[in-house]
C-alpha cells in the first residue's frame, strides 16, 4: 500500500531521527520465534495461533483497542423514566476486541464440548492470552474469567448443561437477554467485599433458600466485567460459605444486581470494574453448601494461569516498541542499539521477557497434563510464575519505556498504557504476599507438588555448575519451609530456579547462560541492564521484532 507521507520539511526545521510508529498490520505470531518454540514444545495449536496472531495485530485491532481505552465504559444505572437498568455502555472498539478474542477461541480453545481439556488446549489458550494482552489487556479480563469459569461448572451437572455451550460458543453476544436467547455468553467472578478480599471467608453476603434456588443479599466491592451473563459468587448460606451462579438477566426481566459505581482505576481502562449490590438476587448453588472456596478455587486456579502469562505479553509489547525505537534512533552519531550500554539494557530486557514467557508456558504445559502429578505441578508452578512475572513486569516495562526517552512518557506510544497495566496481574487472584503464603501452604500440604517441583528442578542438573550450586544453596538455606516473613525471598528464589530449569531445557544456550549468570548466580546489579559478559547478539536475535 502506498503511504501518503507527512511533511518533514517544516518552516523552521526538518523532522528527522524520529523512528516511524510501528504501523499497519503486524502479526503478533510471525515475528515471535520464542512463542513458536514454546507452542511447539507444548503441543499447542500453532495454526490457530498463527491466524489469531495475525488478526490480533492488525491496524484495525489496535485502533479498536485504543478507542476502547480512550472512551472508557460508562455506567447507565437508570433509564429515562428512572427505572433501574444497571447497564454499562462500552465503546464499539471494546465489543470489537471481545468478538475478536472470543472468535479466535480465547475462552473456548482449552475445552471440548464436555468441558474436558483438549490436548495442548491450555497452552493454546495461554498463547492467545499472551498475544491479546499485547493489544488490549483490559478486555482480556472477561475472556479469562469465561475460560476459567468452565471447569468450575463441573460441580453441578444441570448448570453445566445450561451454561457450558454458550460459554464455549466462540460467539460474542452483548445483548441484554437471558442466556437461552443468546448465541454466546461470558461469566465473571464476585468474591471481594469491602471488609476482606484475600480473606474471602470474611464475606457477609447472605444466601437464603427460595425453592430450588437462593436469594442473595449483600455487596461486592470489586466486580469486573459487570455486563457478564453470570457471576460465580461467594455467599454465606446456612451450611457456610458457598458458591453460587448468579445470572445477570432472567427470563422476562433483570436480576436484582445493582451497579453502584464504576471504579476509577490506574489502568485497565477498557474493562469496567464495579461495586455492586445483590438485593435479593436470584442465585443457583454450585457445589455443596459450605464448599464455596473449594468450588470457586477451580476458577481462580485457571485465572491465575492468565495472570502469569499476561505480564509476559505486556513485556513483549514493551520490548517490541523499545527495540524498534533504539534501532531507528541515533544519539551522538550512532544508532542507540549499536551503543554498548543500550545493547546491554536491551539484552537484559529480552532476558526478562523470554524467561517470563518460558515460566508461564511451563505452567501452561502442566495445566495440559491432566494426571494427578500434572495437576500437583500446575498448582505450584502457576503460583511461582504469577509471583515472579508480576514482580518483574513494572520494572521491566519502565526500563523499556525509558529507552524511548521522553517519547516513552507520551500517550501516543503504547508505553504509558503498558506501564499502568503492569501492577494489576500481581494484585488480583492473590496479591504478592497471599501468593507466597499459598506457595508455602501448597508445599506443606501437597507432597506431590513438592515431588514434581523437585523433579523438574533436578532434571537439568549437570548442565550448568552455577545452576547446580544455586539449587543446592537454596535447599541448604531452607532445608524446611521458611518462616512466613521469608516467604517472598523463598518464592523468588524457587521461581528463578524453575525459570532457569525451563530455559536450560528449551532455550538456546546463550539465553539459558545469560539467565543463569544474572538471575541465578547473581552476576548482575539490582537494576535492569547492570550486566556484562553475555552473548548480547544471540539474546537480542530472539526478539525478532517486525513492523513499520
Ligand atoms: C482492577 C481490579 C479488578 C478486580 N476485579 C475483581 C473481580 O472481578 N472480582 C473479585 O472478586 N475481585 C476483583 N478484584 C479484587 C481483587 O481480587 C482484590 O483486590 C485482591 O484479592 C486483594 O484483596 P483486597 O483488595 O481486599 O486486599 P487485602 O486482602 O486487604 O490485602 C491487602 C494487602 O495485604 C496483603 N495480605 C493479605 N493477607 C495477608 C497475610 N496473611 N499476610 C501478609 N500479607 C497479607 C495482600 O497481599 C495485599 O498486599 C479486582 C481488583 C482490581 C484492582
Kindly state whether residue 1 falls inside one of the protein's structural domains. Answer: no
pLDDT of residue 546: 61
DSSP state of 248: S
Question: Do 305 and 255 belong together in one domain?
Answer: no
Exposure string of 58-91, with b = 16+ CB inside 10 Å and e = fewer, is beebbebbbbbbebbbebeeeeeeeeeebbbebb
CA-263 nearest atom, ligand 1: 1
Question: H-helix or E-strand containing 294?
Answer: helix 292-328
Beta bridge partners of 89: 74
Residue 225 CA, closest ligand 1 atom number: 8
DSSP 3-state of 107: coil
pLDDT digits (tens, 9 = 90+) for 267-310: 999 999 999 999 999 999 999 999 999 999 999 999 999 999 99
The pLDDT tens digits of the residues spanning 4-33 come to 889 999 999 999 999 999 999 999 999 999
Burial 206-239 (b: 16+ CB within 10 A, else e): ebeeeeeebbbbbbbbbbbbbbbbbbbbbbbbee
Residues 187 and 211 in one domain: yes
Quick check: 535 and 545 in contact, CB under 8 A? Answer: no
- What ligand 1 atom has the least distance to the C-alpha of 191? 11
Atom of ligand 1 nearest to the CA of 199: 29
Residues 420 and 506 in one domain: yes
Q: Write the CA distances from 61 to 96, 98, 173, integer angstroms.
A: 8, 11, 18
Identify whether 15 is part of a domain. Answer: no
Same-domain status, 107 and 191: yes
Task: Report the distance separating Cα 224 and Cα 140, nearest Å.
Answer: 11
Mutate-to-test residue for ligand 1 from 140, 222, 391, highest number of ligand atoms within 8 A of CB: 222
In the reported structure, the alpha carbon of residue 199 is separated from the centroid of ligand 1 by a whole-number distance in angstroms of 8
pLDDT tens readout for residues 23-73: 999 999 999 999 999 999 999 999 999 999 999 999 999 999 999 999 999
The C-alpha cell at 77 is 444505572
In ligand 1, which atom is closest to the CA atom of 220?
11
**Residue burial 16-46, b: 16+ Cβ < 10 Å; e: rest:** eeebeebeeebbbbebbebbbbbbebbebbb
Q: CA–CA separation, 318 vs 69, rounded Å?
A: 18
Q: What angle do CA 315, 318, 321 make, to 5 degrees?
A: 145
Measured in angstroms, how far is the CA atom of residue 288 from the centroid of ligand 1?
25
Ligand 1 centroid–CA 300 distance in Å is 13
Residue 547 scores a pLDDT above 80: no
Pocket of ligand 1 (CB under 6 A): 188-192, 196-199, 222-224, 265, 268, 273, 424, 427-428, 431-434, 437
Residue 430 Cα, ligand 1 centroid: separation in angstroms? 6
Q: How far apart are CA 228 and CA 235, in angstroms?
A: 19
Q: Which of 143, 195, 198 has most ligand 1 atoms within 8 Å of its beta carbon, as the pocket-test mutant?
A: 198
Domain end: 257, 290, 323, which one?
A: 290
User: In a mutational test of the pocket of ligand 1, which residue from 139, 194, 431, 440 has the highest number of ligand atoms less than 8 Å from its CB?
Assistant: 431
Pocket test for ligand 1, best of 428, 439, 441 (most atoms within 8 A of CB): 428
Residue 76 near residue 103 (C-beta atoms within 8 A): no
Calculate the alpha carbon distances from 185 to 61, 169, 398, 441, 534 in Å.
Answer: 22, 8, 36, 35, 49
Ligand 1 centre and the CA of 321: distance in Å?
31
Does residue 371 lie in a domain region?
yes
Atom of ligand 1 lying closest to residue 189 CA = 9
Q: If you measure from the C-alpha of residue 260 to the centroid of ligand 1, how many angstroms do you get, rounded to a whole number? A: 20
> What is the tens place of the pLDDT at every residue in 231-256?
999 999 999 999 999 999 999 899 99
Report the C-alpha gap between 130 and 38 in whole angstroms: 12
Question: Which atom of ligand 1 lies nearest, measured to the CA of 435?
Answer: 47
Q: Hey, which of 192, 202, 248 would you mutate to test ligand 1's pocket, going by the most ligand atoms within 8 Å of its Cβ?
A: 192
**pLDDT digits 0-9 by tens, 457-502:** 999 999 999 999 999 999 999 999 999 999 999 999 999 999 999 9
Q: Using CB atoms within 10 Å of the CB of residue 251, give its burial: 0 to 12 exposed, 13 to 18 middle, 19+ buried.
A: exposed
User: Whose Cα sits closest to atom 42 in ligand 1?
Assistant: 433
How far apart, in whole angstroms, are the C-alpha atoms of residue 369 and residue 351?
Answer: 27
* Stretch 499-528: mean pLDDT: 96
* pLDDT confidence bin for 168, thresholds 50/70/90: very high
Q: Which of the listed residues 191, 427, 435 should we mutate to test ligand 1's pocket, taking the one with most ligand atoms within 8 A of CB?
A: 427
Question: Quick one: pLDDT band at residue 532, thresholds 50, 70, 90?
Answer: confident
Distance CA 272, CA 274 (A): 6
Q: Which atom of ligand 1 is nearest to the CA of 429?
A: 17
pLDDT tens-digit series, residues 122-162: 999 999 999 999 999 999 999 999 999 999 999 999 999 99
**22: in domain:** no
For residue 104, what is its C-alpha cell? 479466535
Number of separate domains in the chain: 2
Backbone angle region of 87, left / alpha / beta, with phi > 0 → left and psi within -120 to 50 → alpha: beta
Give the whole-angstrom CA distance, residue 163 versus residue 186: 9
268 and 159 fall within a common domain: yes
Three cell numbers, residue 180: 437461552
CATH number reported for the structural domain that contains residue 108 in this entry: 2.40.110.20
Mean pLDDT computed over 153-176: 98
Of the three residues 290, 309, 333, the one that is the final residue of a domain is 290
Closest CA to 300 of 119, 431, 123: 431
Percentage of the chain modeled with pLDDT above 70: 99
E-state strands within 361-438: none
Residue 530 has pLDDT above 90, yes or no: no
Q: Is residue 491 part of a domain?
A: yes
Question: In this structure, is residue 442 part of a structural domain?
Answer: yes
Residue 363 and residue 272 share a domain:
no
Residue 21 lies in a domain: no
In a shared domain, residues 283 and 367:
no
Of 370, 505, 381, give the one whose Cα is nearest residue 442.
Answer: 381
Query: What is the extent of the structural domain holding 231?
Result: 33-290
Same domain, 162 and 213: yes
Q: Which atom of ligand 1 is nearest to the CA of 431?
A: 47
192 CA distance to ligand 1 middle (Å):
7
Give, using CA atoms, the residue closest to atom 14 of ligand 1. 222
Tell how far the Cα of 428 is from the centroid of ligand 1, in angstroms. Answer: 6
Confidence at 371, pLDDT banded by 50, 70, 90: very high
CA dist 417 and 162 (Å) reads 38
46: phi then psi, degrees, rounded to nearest 5: -65, -35
Same domain, 206 and 326: no
| C-beta neighbour count of 261 within 10 angstroms | 10
- Contacting residues for 3 by C-beta, under 8 A, at least 6 apart: none
Which residues make Cβ contacts (< 8 Å) with residue 278, sequence separation at least 6?
205, 216, 217, 218, 219, 220, 233, 235, 246, 256, 257, 258
Measured in Å, residue 395 CA sits from the centre of ligand 1 at 21
pLDDT tens column, 195-204: 989 999 999 9
Q: What is the CATH number of the domain that holds 351?
A: 1.20.140.10
* Residue 275 sits in the same domain as residue 334: no
Q: CA torsion sign, 340 to 343 to 345 to 347?
A: negative
Residue nearest (by alpha carbon) to ligand 1 atom 43 = 433
Residue 17 included in any domain? no
Q: Give the C-alpha separation, 50 to 465, whole Å.
A: 38
pLDDT in tens, 107-123: 999 999 999 999 999 99
Are 139 and 45 in a shared domain?
yes
Which uninterrupted H or E stretch holds 78? Answer: strand 74-78
Q: Is the pLDDT of residue 1 over 70?
A: no
The whole-number pLDDT of residue 548 equals 47
In this structure, the answer to whether residues 194 and 243 fall within a common structural domain is yes
Residue 268: closest CA among 363, 142, 442, 452: 142
Amino acid at each position: 500500500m502506498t503511504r501518503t507521507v507527512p511533511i518533514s520539511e517544516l518552516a523552521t526545521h526538518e523532522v528527522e531521527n524520529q523512528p516511524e510508529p510501528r504501523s499497519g498490520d503486524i502479526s503478533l505470531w510471525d515475528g515471535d520465534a520464542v512463542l513458536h518454540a514454546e507452542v511447539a514444545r507444548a503441543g499447542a495449536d500453532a495454526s490457530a495461533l498463527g491466524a489469531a496472531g495475525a488478526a490480533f495485530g492488525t491496524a484495525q485491532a489496535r485502533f479498536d483497542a485504543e478507542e476502547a481505552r480512550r472512551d472508557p465504559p460508562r455506567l447507565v444505572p437508570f433509564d429515562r423514566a428512572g427505572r433501574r437498568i444497571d447497564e454499562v455502555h462500552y465503546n464499539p472498539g471494546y465489543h470489537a476486541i471481545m468478538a475478536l478474542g472470543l472468535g479466535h477461541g480465547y475462552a473456548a480453545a482449552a475445552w471440548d464440548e464436555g468441558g474436558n481439556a483438549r490436548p495442548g488446549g491450555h497452552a493454546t489458550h495461554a498463547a492467545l492470552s499472551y498475544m491479546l494482552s499485547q493489544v488490549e489487556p483490559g478486555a482480556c479480563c472477561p475472556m479469562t474469567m469465561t475460560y476459567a469459569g468452565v471447569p468450575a461448572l463441573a460441580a453441578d451437572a444441570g448448570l453445566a448443561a445450561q451454561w457450558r455451550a454458550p460459554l464455549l460458543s466462540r460467539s460474542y453476544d452483548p445483548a441484554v437477554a437471558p442466556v437461552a436467547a443468546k448465541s454466546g455468553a461470558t461469566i465473571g467472578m464476585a468474591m471481594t467485599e469491602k471488609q476482606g478480599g484475600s480473606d474471602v471467608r470474611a464475606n457477609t453476603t447472605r444466601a437464603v433458600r427460595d425453592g430450588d434456588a437462593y436469594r442473595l443479599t449483600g455487596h461486592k466491592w470489586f466486580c469486573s466485567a459487570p455486563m457478564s451473563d453470570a457471576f460465580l459468587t461467594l455467599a454465606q448460606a446456612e451450611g457456610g460459605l458457598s458458591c453460587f451462579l448468579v445470572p445477570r438477566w432472567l427470563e422476562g426481566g433483570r436480576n436484582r444486581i445493582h451497579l453502584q459505581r464504576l471504579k476509577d482505576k490506574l489502568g485497565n481502562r477498557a474493562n469496567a470494574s464495579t461495586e455492586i449490590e445483590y438485593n435479593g438476587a436470584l442465585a443457583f448453588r454450585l457445589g455443596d453448601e459450605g464448599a464455596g472456596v473449594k468450588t470457586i478455587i477451580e476458577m481462580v486456579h485457571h485465572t491465575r494461569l492468565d495472570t502469569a502469562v499476561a505480564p509476559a505479553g505486556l513485556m513483549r509489547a514493551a520490548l517490541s516498541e523499545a527495540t524498534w525505537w533504539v534501532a531507528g534512533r541515533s544519539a551522538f552519531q550512532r544508532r542507540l542499539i549499536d551503543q554498548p550500554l543500550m545493547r546491554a539494557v536491551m539484552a537484559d530486557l529480552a532476558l526478562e521477557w523470554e524467561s517470563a514467557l518460558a515460566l508461564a508456558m511451563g505452567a501452561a504445559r502442566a495445566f495440559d497434563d491432566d494426571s494427578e502429578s500434572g495437576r500437583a505441578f500446575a498448582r505450584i508452578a502457576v503460583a511461582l510464575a504469577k509471583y515472579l512475572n508480576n514482580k518483574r513486569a513494572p520494572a521491566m516495562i519502565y526500563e523499556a519505556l525509558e529507552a524511548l526517552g521522553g517519547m516513552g512518557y507520551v500517550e501516543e506510544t503504547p508505553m504509558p498504557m503498558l506501564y499502568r497495566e503492569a501492577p494489576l496481574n500481581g494484585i488480583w487472584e492473590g496479591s504478592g504476599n497471599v501468593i507466597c503464603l499459598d506457595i508455602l501452604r501448597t508445599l506443606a500440604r501437597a507432597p506431590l507438588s513438592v515431588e514434581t517441583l523437585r523433579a523438574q528442578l533436578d532434571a537439568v542438573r549437570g548442565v550448568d555448575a552455577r545452576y547446580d550450586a544455586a539449587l543446592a544453596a537454596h535447599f541448604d538455606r531452607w532445608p524446611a519451609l521458611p518462616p512466613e516473613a521469608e516467604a517472598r525471598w523463598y518464592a523468588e528464589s524457587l521461581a528463578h530456579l524453575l525459570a532457569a530449569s525451563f530455559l536450560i531445557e528449551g532455550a538456546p544456550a546463550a539465553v539459558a547462560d545469560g539467565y543463569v549468570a544474572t538471575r541465578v548466580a547473581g552476576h548482575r546489579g539490582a537494576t535492569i541492564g547492570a550486566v556484562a559478559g553475555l552473548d548480547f547478539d544471540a539474546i537480542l536475535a530472539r526478539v525478532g521484532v517486525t513492523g513499520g
